[in-house]
Chain A
């Protein structure tokens, strides 16, 4: 099974400042079809998870452009260019290349400093 490792697990950020979350996989997430199925999800307090980014760098509809995803192979990053209050929550990277099972990062809790 693929192991996903996120860092940091806790991320205090000042409003308006950037934030970055790293996600590393135990093996390459490049599928045999050439695609990389690495996704980022946000879970605000008391809410269901919401997908932000799919296939490394594609923003979902309605996701603010301050969110961006990058990376390749085994090393991926979610960046928030300027953190807003509504960004508070837990962020998960999830791989959908080598499944079952789907594997998740441990989650990064973003809070406002």
Chain B
């Protein structure tokens, strides 16, 4: 069974940093592209970052470019999102999701909540 389990969310002050993790199981993680998608409270979905299967190609939404860094460790079946210079409008549930193209976001994690507040 495919599973994606996010962790690392919490309460952070504006300007602070945090790293989210997504642990994958039930499939060959190194074969799949991955994304982070977030959802602010009561709002719609927003794609924020993508990484290819080998970890070389990375894309970011303009809203997080220069502040967030996506990475992966295929040996540990894990995806990461390093978030720096956090702002109040980064408050959201962060989901990791598997796939692209015809398999775009076929599987999602349960999400982890980040709250940026003083």
Q: What residues of chain A have their CB less than 8 Å away from a CB belonging to chain B? A: 35, 37, 39, 41, 43, 48-51, 54-55, 60, 90, 92, 94, 96, 99-104, 106-107
**With an 8 A cutoff between CB atoms, is B80 at the interface?**
no
Q: What residues of chain B have their CB less than 8 Å away from a CB belonging to chain A? A: 35, 37, 44-47, 50, 59-62, 95, 97, 100-106, 108-111
Using A101-B47, A101-B61, A102-B47 as known contacts, say yes or no to A96 and B106 having CB atoms under 8 A apart: no
CB-based closest 10 A-B pairs: A100-B59, A102-B47, A48-B108, A96-B104, A107-B44, A101-B61, A104-B45, A51-B106, A48-B110, A49-B108
Interface of A is mostly: loop
Using A92-B45, A100-B61, A106-B44 as known contacts, say yes or no to A48 and B104 having CB atoms under 8 A apart: no
Q: Specify which of A48, A60, A104 is in contact with B47 (CB 8 Å cutoff).
A: A104
